[in-house]
Amino acid sequence: MEFSITINMDNAAFDDKEAELERCLKKVTRLIAVGYTEGVVHDINGQKVGAFAIEGTRPVDDERIAAYWVQDPEGDNLERFEVKQEAPPSDARTDALRSAAQMNEDEDRDDPTNVMGVYVLAVEYGCGHITTEEA
């Protein structure tokens, strides 16, 4: 992951360059804190003087489990259970497993001769990669 910022300090707002630069950097910090990953930098007079961007991801974010999906036998995603960062990942996995088990049970009840397959659990990682496992 990389953070970049450019600020052109060639105008009157930067007569007191330390104060104006500090103000600009604080503004960028506040924008990042509320979720911006890129944006424009304006001076005290409202003039565009630069831009900032956060690009890429941390490897740990790519490997993090983002969600569990219940998939039908054809591999179509039916239901997504997002992993909440404040809750243990096992909660979303448990919910997805229960949903897949219920779908399998309903399918068996509707057609006891069904041999097409079972609903499976798919794991979605932060990088977007999805793997499957039998529910």
What average pLDDT score do residues 3-8 get?
96
- Give the pLDDT band of residue 7 (cuts 50, 70, 90): very high
Q: Express each pLDDT in 66-77 by its tens digit.
A: 777 777 766 676
Query: HSE (CB half, 13 Å, CA atoms) of 125?
Result: 13
CA proximity to 37, closest of 14, 66, 58: 58
CA proximity to 66, closest of 42, 41, 96, 39: 96
- Give the pLDDT band of residue 57 (cuts 50, 70, 90): low
Sign of CA dihedral 22, 8, 37, 129: negative
Q: Quote the CA–CA distance of 131 and 68 in Å, as a whole number.
A: 10
Q: Quote the CA–CA distance of 123 and 64 in Å, as a whole number.
A: 10
**Rounded to two decimals, what is the model's pTM?**
0.46
